Amino acid sequence: PSRRLRATVSSPIAATRMENYLKSKGMGQTDFAATVGTTDRTLRSFRKTGRVRRDILDSIAKHMGTTKEALLRLE
């Protein structure tokens, strides 16, 4: 039987990449949260813990102009 995917993704690397993206664009966390469709608190928690819901990570990647897999890739 196939297993369900977890609802959350844990990736400190993706959180760091998002943070670097915000700095490079000069965009505030609150503005980006509104663009992504989540709250400032959720993004603040993601930056701190590296954990976020899978659907929010998909939206973050989309609005950064990349894919979820590229955000999660180790480099």
Tell me the pLDDT tens digit for each residue of 19-64. Answer: 999 999 999 999 999 999 999 999 999 999 999 999 999 999 999 9
Stated pTM of the model: 0.88
Amino acid identity, position 44? R
So what's the pLDDT on residue 2? 74
So what's the pLDDT on residue 6? 82
Flag whether pLDDT at 75 surpasses 80. Answer: no
Distances 75 to 4, 8, 14, 71 between C-alpha atoms, Å: 27, 22, 11, 10
CA–CA distance, 15 with 51 (Å, rounded to integer):
8
DSSP conformation class of 65: T
So what's the pLDDT on residue 4? 78
